[in-house]
A and B are shown apart, each in its own frame.
Chain A
Protein backbone atom coordinates (compact mmCIF):
# COMPACT_ATOMS: atom_id res chain seq x y z
CA UNK A 1 0.00 0.00 0.00
CA UNK A 2 2.99 2.32 0.46
CA UNK A 3 3.71 2.62 -3.26
CA UNK A 4 0.07 3.23 -3.99
CA UNK A 5 -0.09 5.92 -1.29
CA UNK A 6 2.84 7.70 -2.92
CA UNK A 7 1.18 7.38 -6.30
CA UNK A 8 -2.09 8.78 -5.02
CA UNK A 9 -0.28 11.64 -3.31
CA UNK A 10 1.52 12.44 -6.56
CA UNK A 11 -1.76 12.48 -8.46
CA UNK A 12 -3.32 14.83 -5.89
CA UNK A 13 -0.24 17.10 -6.09
CA UNK A 14 -0.50 17.28 -9.87
CA UNK A 15 -4.23 18.00 -9.72
CA UNK A 16 -3.67 20.79 -7.18
CA UNK A 17 -0.97 22.30 -9.40
CA UNK A 18 -3.23 22.12 -12.44
CA UNK A 19 -6.12 23.75 -10.55
CA UNK A 20 -3.82 26.51 -9.32
CA UNK A 21 -2.34 27.16 -12.78
CA UNK A 22 -5.80 27.07 -14.35
CA UNK A 23 -7.22 29.56 -11.84
CA UNK A 24 -4.20 31.78 -12.30
CA UNK A 25 -4.61 31.64 -16.08
CA UNK A 26 -8.30 32.43 -15.94
CA UNK A 27 -7.79 35.31 -13.50
CA UNK A 28 -5.18 37.03 -15.65
CA UNK A 29 -6.43 36.36 -19.21
CA UNK A 30 -7.64 39.07 -21.59
CA UNK A 31 -11.34 39.85 -21.45
CA UNK A 32 -11.65 41.10 -25.03
CA UNK A 33 -10.94 44.33 -26.87
CA UNK A 34 -12.36 47.46 -25.35
CA UNK A 35 -14.78 49.19 -27.71
CA UNK A 36 -14.91 52.86 -28.68
CA UNK A 37 -11.36 53.77 -27.89
CA UNK A 38 -9.41 56.03 -30.13
CA UNK A 39 -6.31 54.28 -31.46
CA UNK A 40 -4.00 56.97 -30.08
CA UNK A 41 -5.49 56.71 -26.62
CA UNK A 42 -5.26 52.93 -26.85
CA UNK A 43 -1.55 53.21 -27.66
CA UNK A 44 -1.02 55.28 -24.53
CA UNK A 45 -3.00 52.94 -22.29
CA UNK A 46 -1.41 49.67 -23.37
CA UNK A 47 -2.85 46.18 -23.29
CA UNK A 48 -4.26 46.46 -19.78
CA UNK A 49 -6.89 48.90 -20.88
CA UNK A 50 -7.34 47.93 -24.54
CA UNK A 51 -7.72 44.15 -24.19
CA UNK A 52 -8.79 43.82 -20.57
CA UNK A 53 -5.44 42.15 -19.88
CA UNK A 54 -4.48 41.96 -16.23
CA UNK A 55 -1.20 43.63 -15.22
CA UNK A 56 -0.39 40.41 -13.47
CA UNK A 57 1.34 38.02 -15.85
CA UNK A 58 -0.34 34.69 -16.46
CA UNK A 59 1.33 31.29 -16.15
CA UNK A 60 2.05 31.20 -19.86
CA UNK A 61 3.92 34.52 -19.75
CA UNK A 62 5.94 33.31 -16.79
CA UNK A 63 6.63 30.00 -18.51
CA UNK A 64 7.85 31.68 -21.67
CA UNK A 65 10.08 34.08 -19.72
CA UNK A 66 11.43 31.24 -17.61
CA UNK A 67 12.35 29.31 -20.73
CA UNK A 68 14.18 32.40 -21.98
CA UNK A 69 16.14 32.59 -18.70
CA UNK A 70 16.91 28.89 -18.69
CA UNK A 71 18.33 29.05 -22.19
CA UNK A 72 20.74 31.83 -21.25
CA UNK A 73 21.40 31.55 -17.53
CA UNK A 74 24.88 33.09 -17.52
CA UNK A 75 24.73 36.14 -19.80
CA UNK A 76 26.19 39.38 -18.51
CA UNK A 77 25.04 42.67 -20.07
CA UNK A 78 26.45 44.97 -17.44
CA UNK A 79 25.56 45.62 -13.79
CA UNK A 80 21.77 45.75 -14.17
CA UNK A 81 21.27 42.87 -16.58
CA UNK A 82 22.85 39.56 -15.64
CA UNK A 83 21.63 36.00 -16.17
CA UNK A 84 19.72 34.33 -13.33
CA UNK A 85 22.46 31.70 -13.03
CA UNK A 86 25.01 34.40 -12.26
CA UNK A 87 22.72 36.05 -9.69
CA UNK A 88 22.01 32.75 -7.96
CA UNK A 89 25.71 31.93 -7.95
CA UNK A 90 26.47 35.23 -6.21
CA UNK A 91 23.82 34.57 -3.56
CA UNK A 92 24.91 30.97 -3.02
CA UNK A 93 28.53 32.08 -2.76
CA UNK A 94 27.69 34.59 -0.02
CA UNK A 95 25.51 32.10 1.84
CA UNK A 96 28.18 29.39 1.66
CA UNK A 97 30.96 31.69 2.86
CA UNK A 98 28.97 33.14 5.77
CA UNK A 99 27.61 29.71 6.63
CA UNK A 100 31.00 28.00 6.59
CA UNK A 101 32.50 30.67 8.84
CA UNK A 102 29.56 30.11 11.19
CA UNK A 103 30.16 26.33 11.15
CA UNK A 104 33.85 26.84 11.86
CA UNK A 105 33.06 28.98 14.90
CA UNK A 106 29.79 27.53 16.20
CA UNK A 107 30.77 23.86 16.35
CA UNK A 108 34.04 24.19 18.30
CA UNK A 109 32.50 26.83 20.57
CA UNK A 110 29.40 24.68 21.03
CA UNK A 111 31.67 21.77 22.04
CA UNK A 112 33.34 23.97 24.64
CA UNK A 113 30.01 25.17 26.01
CA UNK A 114 28.58 21.66 26.03
CA UNK A 115 31.57 20.15 27.83
CA UNK A 116 31.99 22.87 30.43
CA UNK A 117 29.09 23.74 32.72
CA UNK A 118 31.02 26.88 33.72
CA UNK A 119 31.28 28.22 30.16
CA UNK A 120 27.72 27.17 29.53
CA UNK A 121 26.45 29.29 32.41
CA UNK A 122 28.84 32.17 31.69
CA UNK A 123 27.97 32.49 27.99
CA UNK A 124 24.26 31.84 28.37
CA UNK A 125 23.16 35.48 28.92
CA UNK A 126 25.09 36.64 25.84
CA UNK A 127 23.58 33.93 23.66
CA UNK A 128 20.08 34.62 24.97
CA UNK A 129 20.38 38.33 24.11
CA UNK A 130 22.15 37.97 20.77
CA UNK A 131 20.00 35.13 19.42
CA UNK A 132 16.67 36.98 18.99
CA UNK A 133 18.22 39.97 17.17
CA UNK A 134 17.04 40.15 13.58
CA UNK A 135 20.12 39.65 11.43
CA UNK A 136 19.24 42.72 9.35
CA UNK A 137 19.50 44.90 12.45
CA UNK A 138 23.23 44.21 12.31
CA UNK A 139 23.43 45.61 8.78
CA UNK A 140 24.15 49.30 9.55
CA UNK A 141 26.74 48.33 12.15
CA UNK A 142 28.32 45.91 9.70
CA UNK A 143 28.36 48.49 6.90
CA UNK A 144 29.92 51.06 9.21
CA UNK A 145 32.64 48.79 10.59
CA UNK A 146 33.37 46.58 7.59
CA UNK A 147 32.83 49.35 5.02
CA UNK A 148 32.19 46.82 2.26
CA UNK A 149 28.64 45.99 1.29
CA UNK A 150 29.40 42.50 0.01
CA UNK A 151 31.34 41.54 3.13
CA UNK A 152 28.55 43.00 5.25
CA UNK A 153 26.06 40.66 3.61
CA UNK A 154 28.36 37.74 4.42
CA UNK A 155 28.61 38.94 8.01
CA UNK A 156 24.83 39.07 8.27
CA UNK A 157 24.59 35.49 6.99
CA UNK A 158 27.23 34.46 9.53
CA UNK A 159 25.48 36.13 12.45
CA UNK A 160 22.08 34.63 11.62
CA UNK A 161 23.29 31.07 11.05
CA UNK A 162 25.63 30.86 14.02
CA UNK A 163 22.98 30.61 16.79
CA UNK A 164 21.01 27.47 15.91
CA UNK A 165 24.28 25.60 15.31
CA UNK A 166 25.85 26.88 18.51
CA UNK A 167 22.86 26.03 20.66
CA UNK A 168 22.29 22.62 19.10
CA UNK A 169 25.96 21.66 19.32
CA UNK A 170 26.12 22.68 22.98
CA UNK A 171 22.91 20.80 23.73
CA UNK A 172 23.98 17.72 21.78
CA UNK A 173 27.37 17.60 23.48
CA UNK A 174 25.94 18.21 26.96
CA UNK A 175 23.34 15.47 26.62
CA UNK A 176 25.61 12.64 25.43
CA UNK A 177 24.58 9.58 27.47
CA UNK A 178 26.65 9.26 30.63
CA UNK A 179 27.11 5.54 30.06
CA UNK A 180 28.84 6.12 26.71
CA UNK A 181 31.22 8.54 28.38
CA UNK A 182 31.78 5.95 31.12
CA UNK A 183 32.62 3.32 28.51
CA UNK A 184 35.31 5.60 27.13
CA UNK A 185 36.54 6.38 30.65
CA UNK A 186 36.86 2.73 31.65
CA UNK A 187 38.80 2.14 28.44
CA UNK A 188 41.19 4.97 29.40
CA UNK A 189 40.41 6.85 26.21
CA UNK A 190 42.04 10.29 26.28
CA UNK A 191 40.01 13.51 26.13
CA UNK A 192 40.86 14.26 22.52
CA UNK A 193 40.07 10.78 21.25
CA UNK A 194 36.92 10.68 23.38
CA UNK A 195 35.70 13.91 21.78
CA UNK A 196 36.05 12.43 18.29
CA UNK A 197 35.06 8.81 18.90
CA UNK A 198 32.22 9.18 21.40
CA UNK A 199 30.96 12.74 21.82
CA UNK A 200 31.03 13.82 18.18
CA UNK A 201 29.20 10.75 16.78
CA UNK A 202 26.71 10.85 19.66
CA UNK A 203 25.97 14.55 19.19
CA UNK A 204 26.15 14.51 15.38
CA UNK A 205 22.39 14.13 14.74
CA UNK A 206 21.63 17.12 16.99
CA UNK A 207 24.43 19.17 15.43
CA UNK A 208 23.14 18.39 11.94
CA UNK A 209 19.65 19.48 12.94
CA UNK A 210 21.11 22.82 13.99
CA UNK A 211 23.01 23.08 10.69
CA UNK A 212 19.83 22.36 8.79
CA UNK A 213 17.90 25.10 10.62
CA UNK A 214 20.81 27.47 10.00
CA UNK A 215 21.00 26.93 6.25
CA UNK A 216 17.27 27.60 6.02
CA UNK A 217 17.60 30.86 7.92
CA UNK A 218 20.68 31.87 5.92
CA UNK A 219 18.82 31.41 2.64
CA UNK A 220 15.87 33.42 3.97
CA UNK A 221 18.11 36.25 5.08
CA UNK A 222 20.30 36.49 1.99
CA UNK A 223 17.39 37.74 -0.15
CA UNK A 224 16.62 40.55 2.28
CA UNK A 225 20.30 41.37 2.77
CA UNK A 226 20.90 41.62 -0.97
CA UNK A 227 17.89 43.89 -1.40
CA UNK A 228 19.60 46.26 1.03
CA UNK A 229 23.14 45.83 -0.23
CA UNK A 230 22.40 45.78 -3.94
CA UNK A 231 24.75 45.08 -6.82
CA UNK A 232 24.44 41.35 -7.36
CA UNK A 233 22.54 38.32 -6.14
CA UNK A 234 19.03 36.98 -6.38
CA UNK A 235 17.73 39.43 -3.73
CA UNK A 236 19.05 42.34 -5.72
CA UNK A 237 17.52 40.81 -8.87
CA UNK A 238 14.07 40.75 -7.23
CA UNK A 239 14.36 44.39 -6.19
CA UNK A 240 15.77 45.48 -9.56
CA UNK A 241 12.97 43.74 -11.46
CA UNK A 242 10.42 45.39 -9.14
CA UNK A 243 11.93 48.74 -10.12
CA UNK A 244 11.64 47.61 -13.76
CA UNK A 245 8.00 46.67 -13.02
CA UNK A 246 8.69 43.22 -14.44
CA UNK A 247 6.36 41.14 -12.29
CA UNK A 248 7.12 38.13 -14.50
CA UNK A 249 10.76 38.20 -13.48
CA UNK A 250 9.83 38.70 -9.83
CA UNK A 251 7.64 35.60 -9.93
CA UNK A 252 10.41 33.60 -11.60
CA UNK A 253 12.86 34.74 -8.95
CA UNK A 254 10.45 33.74 -6.16
CA UNK A 255 10.10 30.30 -7.72
CA UNK A 256 13.87 29.86 -8.00
CA UNK A 257 14.48 31.03 -4.42
CA UNK A 258 12.07 28.35 -3.25
CA UNK A 259 13.69 25.65 -5.38
CA UNK A 260 17.23 26.47 -4.27
CA UNK A 261 16.12 26.61 -0.61
CA UNK A 262 14.57 23.18 -0.98
CA UNK A 263 17.73 21.75 -2.54
CA UNK A 264 19.90 23.17 0.26
CA UNK A 265 17.61 21.68 2.87
CA UNK A 266 17.52 18.30 1.14
CA UNK A 267 21.32 18.14 0.95
CA UNK A 268 21.58 18.62 4.72
CA UNK A 269 18.74 16.17 5.30
CA UNK A 270 20.79 13.58 3.35
CA UNK A 271 23.91 14.25 5.41
CA UNK A 272 21.81 14.13 8.55
CA UNK A 273 20.53 10.69 7.63
CA UNK A 274 24.13 9.48 7.26
CA UNK A 275 25.05 10.35 10.85
CA UNK A 276 21.80 9.29 12.49
CA UNK A 277 21.94 6.01 14.37
CA UNK A 278 18.98 3.93 15.48
CA UNK A 279 18.97 2.93 19.11
Chain B
Protein backbone atom coordinates (compact mmCIF):
# COMPACT_ATOMS: atom_id res chain seq x y z
CA UNK B 1 0.00 0.00 0.00
CA UNK B 2 1.24 3.39 -0.88
CA UNK B 3 0.42 6.48 1.07
CA UNK B 4 -0.10 8.76 -1.91
CA UNK B 5 -3.24 10.83 -2.14
CA UNK B 6 -4.66 9.00 -5.09
CA UNK B 7 -7.97 10.75 -4.74
CA UNK B 8 -8.10 14.09 -3.01
CA UNK B 9 -11.36 15.89 -2.42
CA UNK B 10 -10.34 19.47 -1.73
CA UNK B 11 -12.84 21.79 -0.13
CA UNK B 12 -15.81 20.99 -2.30
CA UNK B 13 -19.23 22.52 -1.68
CA UNK B 14 -22.62 22.06 -3.26
CA UNK B 15 -25.23 24.75 -3.08
CA UNK B 16 -28.58 25.08 -4.73
CA UNK B 17 -29.62 28.60 -5.52
CA UNK B 18 -33.27 29.29 -5.12
CA UNK B 19 -35.48 31.66 -3.21
CA UNK B 20 -33.52 30.44 -0.19
CA UNK B 21 -30.23 29.00 -1.28
CA UNK B 22 -29.44 25.76 0.51
CA UNK B 23 -26.00 24.42 1.20
CA UNK B 24 -25.96 20.64 1.01
CA UNK B 25 -22.37 20.55 2.23
CA UNK B 26 -19.35 22.80 2.09
CA UNK B 27 -15.63 22.71 2.76
CA UNK B 28 -15.46 18.95 2.40
CA UNK B 29 -12.00 17.36 2.42
CA UNK B 30 -11.10 13.72 2.02
CA UNK B 31 -8.07 11.83 0.79
CA UNK B 32 -7.97 8.24 -0.40
CA UNK B 33 -4.98 6.05 -1.12
CA UNK B 34 -4.61 3.76 -4.13
CA UNK B 35 -6.20 0.39 -3.58
CA UNK B 36 -8.29 1.58 -0.66
CA UNK B 37 -11.92 0.61 -0.19
CA UNK B 38 -13.79 3.52 1.38
CA UNK B 39 -17.43 3.40 2.41
CA UNK B 40 -19.44 6.51 3.19
CA UNK B 41 -22.30 6.07 5.63
CA UNK B 42 -24.87 8.69 6.43
CA UNK B 43 -28.57 9.33 6.44
CA UNK B 44 -30.55 10.09 3.30
CA UNK B 45 -30.28 13.68 2.12
CA UNK B 46 -26.83 14.33 3.56
CA UNK B 47 -25.32 14.66 0.10
CA UNK B 48 -23.54 11.31 -0.23
CA UNK B 49 -24.80 10.78 -3.75
CA UNK B 50 -23.84 14.33 -4.71
CA UNK B 51 -20.28 13.66 -3.54
CA UNK B 52 -20.22 10.49 -5.62
CA UNK B 53 -21.63 12.27 -8.66
CA UNK B 54 -18.96 14.94 -8.32
CA UNK B 55 -16.30 12.22 -8.15
CA UNK B 56 -17.85 10.65 -11.26
CA UNK B 57 -17.84 14.00 -13.04
CA UNK B 58 -21.60 13.87 -13.54
CA UNK B 59 -22.09 16.83 -11.21
CA UNK B 60 -19.99 19.94 -10.70
CA UNK B 61 -19.11 21.25 -7.22
CA UNK B 62 -20.10 24.85 -6.45
CA UNK B 63 -16.66 25.31 -4.91
CA UNK B 64 -13.46 23.38 -4.60
CA UNK B 65 -12.04 20.59 -6.72
CA UNK B 66 -11.38 16.89 -6.78
CA UNK B 67 -7.97 15.67 -7.82
CA UNK B 68 -7.53 12.12 -9.03
CA UNK B 69 -4.09 10.76 -9.75
CA UNK B 70 -2.67 14.28 -9.97
CA UNK B 71 -5.34 15.68 -12.25
CA UNK B 72 -8.40 17.76 -11.44
CA UNK B 73 -11.68 16.18 -12.51
CA UNK B 74 -13.28 17.91 -15.46
CA UNK B 75 -16.30 15.86 -16.36
CA UNK B 76 -16.85 12.12 -16.58
CA UNK B 77 -13.99 9.82 -17.48
CA UNK B 78 -13.43 6.21 -18.44
CA UNK B 79 -10.92 6.09 -15.58
CA UNK B 80 -13.78 6.24 -13.11
CA UNK B 81 -16.49 3.62 -13.51
CA UNK B 82 -19.86 4.06 -11.83
CA UNK B 83 -22.09 1.29 -10.58
CA UNK B 84 -25.53 2.83 -10.35
CA UNK B 85 -28.06 2.02 -7.67
CA UNK B 86 -30.66 1.22 -10.30
CA UNK B 87 -28.14 -0.77 -12.40
CA UNK B 88 -28.93 1.53 -15.40
CA UNK B 89 -28.62 -1.18 -18.04
CA UNK B 90 -29.73 -0.29 -21.55
CA UNK B 91 -32.85 -2.49 -21.87
CA UNK B 92 -32.67 -2.81 -25.66
CA UNK B 93 -29.25 -4.40 -25.49
CA UNK B 94 -28.39 -7.90 -24.34
CA UNK B 95 -26.06 -8.59 -21.42
CA UNK B 96 -23.21 -8.92 -23.89
CA UNK B 97 -24.38 -5.79 -25.72
CA UNK B 98 -24.37 -3.75 -22.53
CA UNK B 99 -20.85 -4.80 -21.55
CA UNK B 100 -19.58 -4.55 -25.13
CA UNK B 101 -20.93 -1.00 -25.34
CA UNK B 102 -18.63 -0.01 -22.49
CA UNK B 103 -15.69 -1.97 -23.92
CA UNK B 104 -16.03 -0.45 -27.37
CA UNK B 105 -16.34 3.00 -25.80
CA UNK B 106 -13.01 2.57 -24.06
CA UNK B 107 -11.15 0.93 -26.94
CA UNK B 108 -12.65 2.51 -30.04
CA UNK B 109 -10.29 0.82 -32.46
CA UNK B 110 -10.87 -2.75 -31.35
CA UNK B 111 -12.64 -5.01 -33.81
CA UNK B 112 -15.87 -6.79 -32.98
CA UNK B 113 -14.30 -10.12 -32.04
CA UNK B 114 -11.85 -8.55 -29.64
CA UNK B 115 -14.55 -6.48 -27.96
CA UNK B 116 -16.72 -9.57 -27.60
CA UNK B 117 -13.93 -11.69 -26.13
CA UNK B 118 -13.05 -8.97 -23.62
CA UNK B 119 -16.69 -8.44 -22.63
CA UNK B 120 -17.26 -12.19 -22.22
CA UNK B 121 -14.29 -12.41 -19.89
CA UNK B 122 -15.93 -9.97 -17.48
CA UNK B 123 -19.36 -11.57 -17.85
CA UNK B 124 -17.71 -14.83 -16.76
CA UNK B 125 -16.01 -13.04 -13.90
CA UNK B 126 -19.31 -11.97 -12.34
CA UNK B 127 -20.74 -15.45 -12.86
CA UNK B 128 -23.11 -14.74 -15.72
CA UNK B 129 -21.48 -17.00 -18.32
CA UNK B 130 -24.22 -18.52 -20.48
CA UNK B 131 -26.62 -15.62 -19.96
CA UNK B 132 -24.84 -13.22 -22.28
CA UNK B 133 -27.61 -13.22 -24.88
CA UNK B 134 -30.39 -12.47 -22.44
CA UNK B 135 -31.96 -9.05 -22.20
CA UNK B 136 -32.04 -7.16 -18.90
CA UNK B 137 -35.81 -7.74 -18.62
CA UNK B 138 -35.17 -11.49 -18.46
CA UNK B 139 -32.76 -11.16 -15.52
CA UNK B 140 -33.39 -10.99 -11.80
CA UNK B 141 -32.38 -7.89 -9.85
CA UNK B 142 -29.17 -9.49 -8.63
CA UNK B 143 -28.19 -10.61 -12.13
CA UNK B 144 -28.84 -7.10 -13.49
CA UNK B 145 -26.55 -5.63 -10.88
CA UNK B 146 -23.92 -8.24 -11.81
CA UNK B 147 -24.09 -6.95 -15.37
CA UNK B 148 -23.64 -3.43 -14.00
CA UNK B 149 -20.55 -4.63 -12.13
CA UNK B 150 -19.20 -6.44 -15.19
CA UNK B 151 -19.74 -3.31 -17.27
CA UNK B 152 -17.87 -1.16 -14.72
CA UNK B 153 -14.99 -3.63 -14.37
CA UNK B 154 -14.66 -4.28 -18.10
CA UNK B 155 -13.22 -0.83 -18.76
CA UNK B 156 -10.49 -1.52 -16.15
CA UNK B 157 -11.08 1.76 -14.31
CA UNK B 158 -8.67 3.33 -11.86
CA UNK B 159 -11.55 3.90 -9.45
CA UNK B 160 -14.91 2.29 -8.97
CA UNK B 161 -17.71 4.47 -7.65
CA UNK B 162 -20.68 2.61 -6.23
CA UNK B 163 -23.90 4.31 -5.23
CA UNK B 164 -25.72 1.93 -2.89
CA UNK B 165 -25.27 -0.82 -5.44
CA UNK B 166 -26.98 -3.54 -3.43
CA UNK B 167 -29.74 -1.61 -1.70
CA UNK B 168 -32.45 -2.74 -4.11
CA UNK B 169 -31.62 -6.43 -3.65
CA UNK B 170 -32.92 -9.03 -1.23
CA UNK B 171 -30.66 -10.02 1.67
CA UNK B 172 -29.44 -13.32 0.19
CA UNK B 173 -28.55 -11.88 -3.19
CA UNK B 174 -26.95 -8.89 -1.51
CA UNK B 175 -24.68 -11.17 0.53
CA UNK B 176 -23.57 -13.14 -2.52
CA UNK B 177 -22.84 -10.01 -4.50
CA UNK B 178 -20.92 -8.47 -1.61
CA UNK B 179 -18.75 -11.60 -1.55
CA UNK B 180 -18.14 -11.29 -5.29
CA UNK B 181 -17.31 -7.60 -5.14
CA UNK B 182 -14.97 -8.19 -2.23
CA UNK B 183 -13.21 -11.05 -4.02
CA UNK B 184 -12.80 -9.05 -7.22
CA UNK B 185 -11.61 -5.91 -5.44
CA UNK B 186 -9.11 -7.77 -3.29
CA UNK B 187 -7.80 -9.68 -6.32
CA UNK B 188 -7.44 -6.62 -8.52
CA UNK B 189 -6.46 -4.09 -5.85
CA UNK B 190 -9.25 -1.84 -7.06
CA UNK B 191 -9.72 1.57 -5.47
CA UNK B 192 -13.36 1.86 -4.47
CA UNK B 193 -15.55 4.66 -3.19
CA UNK B 194 -18.89 3.29 -2.09
CA UNK B 195 -22.00 4.77 -0.58
CA UNK B 196 -24.15 2.63 1.64
CA UNK B 197 -26.83 2.66 4.31
CA UNK B 198 -25.91 -0.75 5.56
CA UNK B 199 -23.54 -0.87 8.53
CA UNK B 200 -22.65 -4.55 8.11
CA UNK B 201 -21.97 -4.05 4.43
CA UNK B 202 -19.53 -1.27 5.29
CA UNK B 203 -17.80 -3.38 7.97
CA UNK B 204 -17.46 -6.34 5.62
CA UNK B 205 -16.19 -4.44 2.61
CA UNK B 206 -14.43 -1.26 3.66
CA UNK B 207 -10.92 -0.42 4.79
CA UNK B 208 -12.14 2.93 6.03
CA UNK B 209 -15.66 3.98 6.91
CA UNK B 210 -16.45 7.67 6.56
CA UNK B 211 -19.28 8.92 8.75
CA UNK B 212 -21.26 11.83 7.39
CA UNK B 213 -23.58 13.99 9.50
CA UNK B 214 -27.09 14.94 8.51
CA UNK B 215 -27.65 17.62 5.91
CA UNK B 216 -28.13 20.38 5.07
CA UNK B 217 -24.67 21.60 5.97
CA UNK B 218 -23.40 18.03 6.27
CA UNK B 219 -19.80 17.41 7.29
CA UNK B 220 -17.53 14.40 7.33
CA UNK B 221 -17.46 13.72 11.07
CA UNK B 222 -15.02 10.85 11.40
CA UNK B 223 -13.02 8.39 9.43
CA UNK B 224 -13.28 5.04 11.18
CA UNK B 225 -10.51 2.59 10.43
CA UNK B 226 -11.70 -0.95 10.06
CA UNK B 227 -9.77 -3.07 12.58
CA UNK B 228 -10.78 -6.36 10.93
CA UNK B 229 -8.08 -8.18 8.96
CA UNK B 230 -7.94 -7.68 5.21
CA UNK B 231 -8.64 -11.38 4.59
CA UNK B 232 -11.78 -11.33 6.73
CA UNK B 233 -14.50 -13.88 6.07
CA UNK B 234 -18.19 -13.11 6.31
CA UNK B 235 -18.78 -15.96 8.74
CA UNK B 236 -16.00 -14.91 11.11
CA UNK B 237 -16.75 -11.20 11.27
CA UNK B 238 -18.68 -11.31 14.50
CA UNK B 239 -16.00 -13.39 16.25
CA UNK B 240 -13.41 -10.67 15.89
CA UNK B 241 -12.87 -9.01 19.29
CA UNK B 242 -13.28 -5.53 17.90
CA UNK B 243 -16.32 -6.25 15.72
CA UNK B 244 -18.97 -5.15 18.20
CA UNK B 245 -17.04 -2.09 19.31
CA UNK B 246 -16.82 -1.03 15.68
CA UNK B 247 -20.42 -1.79 14.91
CA UNK B 248 -21.68 -0.05 18.05
CA UNK B 249 -19.60 2.99 17.30
CA UNK B 250 -21.10 3.35 13.82
CA UNK B 251 -24.63 2.70 15.01
CA UNK B 252 -24.28 5.21 17.84
CA UNK B 253 -23.23 7.73 15.28
CA UNK B 254 -26.13 7.01 12.95
CA UNK B 255 -28.72 6.95 15.72
CA UNK B 256 -27.74 10.03 17.70
CA UNK B 257 -24.43 11.69 17.00
CA UNK B 258 -25.15 12.30 13.29
CA UNK B 259 -27.75 14.87 14.38
CA UNK B 260 -25.82 16.52 17.20
CA UNK B 261 -22.26 16.27 15.96
CA UNK B 262 -22.03 19.75 14.48
CA UNK B 263 -23.39 21.43 17.61
CA UNK B 264 -21.33 19.34 20.02
CA UNK B 265 -18.06 19.61 18.19
CA UNK B 266 -17.48 23.27 17.39
CA UNK B 267 -13.74 22.69 17.10
CA UNK B 268 -14.26 20.26 14.19
CA UNK B 269 -11.80 21.04 11.42
CA UNK B 270 -13.08 19.78 8.07
CA UNK B 271 -9.52 19.68 6.71
CA UNK B 272 -8.37 17.34 9.46
CA UNK B 273 -11.19 14.91 9.98
CA UNK B 274 -10.61 12.85 13.11
CA UNK B 275 -9.48 9.29 12.47
CA UNK B 276 -11.07 6.84 14.85
CA UNK B 277 -9.22 3.67 15.79
CA UNK B 278 -11.44 1.19 17.48
CA UNK B 279 -9.84 -0.15 20.68
CA UNK B 280 -10.86 -3.10 22.80
CA UNK B 281 -12.77 -1.05 25.34
CA UNK B 282 -13.50 2.48 24.31
CA UNK B 283 -12.91 3.93 20.87
CA UNK B 284 -9.99 6.34 20.97
CA UNK B 285 -10.40 9.45 18.90
CA UNK B 286 -7.13 10.86 17.65
CA UNK B 287 -6.73 13.95 15.56
CA UNK B 288 -5.17 13.05 12.25
CA UNK B 289 -2.27 14.87 10.73
CA UNK B 290 -3.27 16.36 7.38
CA UNK B 291 -1.63 13.81 5.06
CA UNK B 292 -2.07 10.79 7.22
CA UNK B 293 -3.85 8.04 5.45
CA UNK B 294 -1.41 5.13 5.69
CA UNK B 295 -1.72 4.31 9.37
CA UNK B 296 -4.79 2.06 9.17
CA UNK B 297 -3.19 -0.94 7.50
CA UNK B 298 -0.56 -1.25 10.21
CA UNK B 299 -3.19 -1.20 12.87
CA UNK B 300 -5.56 -3.51 11.16
CA UNK B 301 -3.54 -6.62 11.93
Contact = CB atoms under 8 A, between A and B. Distances in A.
Interface in B195-213: none
25 contacts: A180-B88, A180-B90, A182-B88, A183-B88, A185-B57, A185-B58, A185-B76, A186-B56, A186-B77, A186-B78, A186-B81, A186-B82, A187-B76, A187-B101, A187-B102, A188-B76, A188-B78, A189-B105, A198-B90, A202-B90, A277-B91, A278-B91, A278-B135, A278-B137, A279-B136
Residue from A180, A188, A278 having most chain B Cβ neighbours under 10 A: A188
Interface of B: 56-58, 75-78, 80-82, 84, 86, 88, 90-92, 101-102, 105-106, 135-137, 155
A31 B105 CA distance: 80
Contacts of A186: 56-58, 76-78, 80-82
A187 B91 CA distance: 17
A179 interface: yes
Among B75, B92, B102, max chain A CB count under 10 A is at B92
Contacts of A197: 101
A25 B105 CA distance: 68
B90 A279 contact: no
Contacts, number: 55
A278 B82 CA distance: 24
B90 A187 contact: no
Interface in A89-123: none
B137 A279 contact: yes
Interface centre among B81, B82, B90, B136 (most CB of A within 10 A): B90
A66 B238 CA distance: 86
A83 interface: no
Contacts of B56: 186
A178 to B, nearest CB: 9
A277 B57 contact: no
Interface in A176-210: 177, 179-180, 182-183, 185-189, 197-198, 201-202
Identify whether the interface residues of B are mostly helix, strand, loop, or mixed: loop
A188 B80 CA distance: 10
Interface of A: 177, 179-180, 182-183, 185-189, 197-198, 201-202, 275, 277-279
Contact of B91 (A182, A188, A279): A279
Contacts of A189: 105
B88 A187 contact: no
Contacts of A183: 84, 88, 90
Nearest to B77: A188
A202 B136 CA distance: 14
Given A278-B91, A279-B91, A279-B137, A187 B105 contact: yes
Given A278-B135, A279-B91, A182 B82 contact: yes
B135 A187 contact: no
Contacts of B136: 279
A202 B92 CA distance: 8
Contacts of B155: 187
A275 to B, nearest CB: 8
Given A187-B102, A278-B135, A179 B78 contact: no
Nearest to A275: B92
A177 B76 CA distance: 18
Contacts of A182: 58, 82, 84, 88
B109 to A, nearest CB: 14
A197 B135 CA distance: 16
A167 to B, nearest CB: 23
A185 B91 CA distance: 17
A103 to B, nearest CB: 21
Nearest to B89: A183
Contacts of A185: 57-58, 75-76
B143 to A, nearest CB: 15
Contacts of B137: 277-279
Choose among A180, A182, A186, A198 the residue with the greatest number of B CB atoms under 10 Å from its CB.
Answer: A186
B138 to A, nearest CB: 8
Contacts of B105: 187-189
A69 B91 CA distance: 49
Nearest to A183: B88
B146 to A, nearest CB: 16
Contacts of A179: 84, 86, 88
A194 to B, nearest CB: 10
B201 to A, nearest CB: 22
Q: Counting chain A CB atoms within 10 Å of each CB, which of B56, B58, B76, B86 scores highest?
A: B76
B84 A187 contact: no
A248 B86 CA distance: 61
A126 B285 CA distance: 65
A275 B93 CA distance: 11
A186 B76 CA distance: 5
Given A180-B88, A182-B88, A277-B135, A187 B57 contact: no
Contacts of A277: 91-92, 135, 137
Contacts of A187: 76, 78, 101-102, 105-106, 155
